[in-house]
Amino acid sequence: MSANIGIRGTGSYLPERIVSNAEIAVAAGVDPGWIESRTGIRERRRAAPGQATSDLAAAAADRALTAAGICASDLDHIIVATSTPDHPQPATASIVQHLVGARNAAAVDVNAVCSGFVYALAMAEGLLRTGGGTGHALVIGADIYSRILDYSDRKTAVLFGDGAGAVVLGPVPPAHGLIRTHLRGHGDEHTLISVPAGGSRRPATESTLRDGDHYFKMDGRGVRDFVGRQVPAAIHDLLSSSGIAATDVEHLVPHQANGVMLNDLSRTLGLGAANLHLTVGHYGNTGSASIPVTLDEAARAGRIAPGDLLLLAGFGGGMNLGVTLGRWSMHPPAGPRSDVRPLARDMGRDVGRDMGRDMVLAR
């Protein structure tokens, strides 16, 4: 019988600096209210000048290890999902391994952009199964998008924040843990999201810097159409192949791309009264960190109970998407994250068709 592998602990880290819509709107040439009505975002976090992606990732990792009750030296694997690494090489995961003291772990990065955490989770599960299912893996999503944004581009500058989230994957009780994952790539649409310069095809030159080709670019309408076409199909295929009805899903934790879009998407999925967990209003789109950050918020608030069925859905540049289904095995970790103030419960306003109520769309 194959081992049950699931999430043993969660953790996250959000930088201290809060950037409001009023601050971001000036350079983008828009009104703060326009940002909230179009995206559901009211504020986001920004990394300090001295912080790199590995610093955020290590802080989230420490909290996940504490929640799981294991030492870093017990880890067999560290996988960091990021599209904003510290530098082209070495891997950010290698730096995280050093920072947390995981001297026995193999370390590697995954770049599937905003779907990267689900890809990394699937890879970690596979590695643990090849080892008999008794080991532990640290899976981290971390991004600092504030370093690659053109703040005059209202299509992108208003959306993104910085952060990191982590989970410890390992053995869990019978009838719990990860059930099935579907990963899909749509490379024919890779131009929808890109950072055009800075790689082997277009190395850094005075011209690429002058033209702003090292900044993040996105075709917002194209991305929204992609999500509307591909995400529901991937979720329904996953549920069908797992023999689980859509109405049995109790929690949906999606990539926090745009709150208004996510509320629209949730109504098309046929998931019945599943809880839709959102943190985008306070943290913006944190890239590959958005799913594990949101998962940690929900876990620490006790919103997910052992035995609950939950669905994670990531999608982003490439264009890639990944969906995974699992049965929760954790009890709420002790105590809140010390670096993040409690979420304000001013969520009753009708903003972006109920977007304003982060993580409280209850059954």
- Rounded Cα distance, 129 and 124, in Å: 9
In eight-state DSSP terms, residue 361 is B
Measured from the Cβ of residue 95, the count of other Cβ atoms closer than 10 Å reads 21
Share of the chain residues as helix, strand and coil, in percent rounded to the nearest 5: 35, 25, 40
Query: Which of 77, 136, 176, 255 is the catalytic position?
Result: 255
Structure tokens at 334: 């002790």
CA 341 to chain centre: 20
Structure tokens at 109: 């990065």
- Rounded Cα distance, 277 and 2, in Å: 30
- Rounded Cα distance, 18 and 299, in Å: 23
Query: Which of 4, 21, 77, 114 is the catalytic position?
Result: 114
Q: Are 8 and 168 in contact (CB under 8 A)?
A: yes
Structure tokens at 186: 């749509």
Annotated catalytic, 320? no
In eight-state DSSP terms, residue 37 is H
- H or E element that contains 313: strand 309-316
Helix axes 259-266, 32-39, angle to 10 degrees: 20
Annotated catalytic, 114? yes
Structure tokens at 45: 């976090």
Structure tokens at 293: 């950050």
Q: What phi, psi does 17 have (nearest 5°)?
A: -70, 125
Annotated catalytic, 263? no
Residue-by-residue DSSP string for 322-338: EEEEEE--PPPPSS--T
Residues carrying an active site annotation? 114, 255, 285
